[in-house]
Structures are given as structure tokens and as C-alpha cells.
Amino acid sequence: MDVSSVPPTEGARRLGHGVAVLLRIYANCINGGDDTMNDKIGEAFA
């Protein structure tokens, strides 16, 4: 499942956590989106 377009605040709300907990605990469990993130980072530094 690709959740890269879901705002962190909404993901945290649905999980019953704050954004800090979402990013600290759950961010390492999210699969996918690497190519999109790499493209965005590459474009930002181009």
C-alpha cells in the first residue's frame, strides 16, 4: 500500500498518535515510495 500521499497529521490522527510518534515508530514500517522520494529529492537539488 502506498501511503506517501497521506498527510502525516491524518495518518497520526487515525492511529491515535501525534505526528512525532508516527514518524518515530511507524515511518520505518512503510514500504514503497522510494522512487518517488528519490525523484523529488533529485529535482530539489537539480
- Residue 2 — pLDDT band, cuts 50, 70, 90? low
Nearest-angstrom CA–CA distance, 37 and 32: 10
Q: What pLDDT score was predicted for residue 35?
A: 81
Please, are residues 3 and 11 in contact by the beta-carbon 8 Å criterion? yes
N-to-C CA span, the chain: 29
**H helix count then E strand count, the chain:** 3, 0
Please, are residues 19 and 8 in contact by the beta-carbon 8 Å criterion? yes
pLDDT beyond 70 at 1: no
Q: What pLDDT score was predicted for residue 3?
A: 63
Ordered by start, the domain boundaries in the chain are 8-45
Q: Which of 21, 27, 20 is nearest to 4 (CA)?
A: 27
* Mean pLDDT of the region 38-45: 90
Tens-digit pLDDT profile for residues 14-33: 989 899 998 888 777 766 67
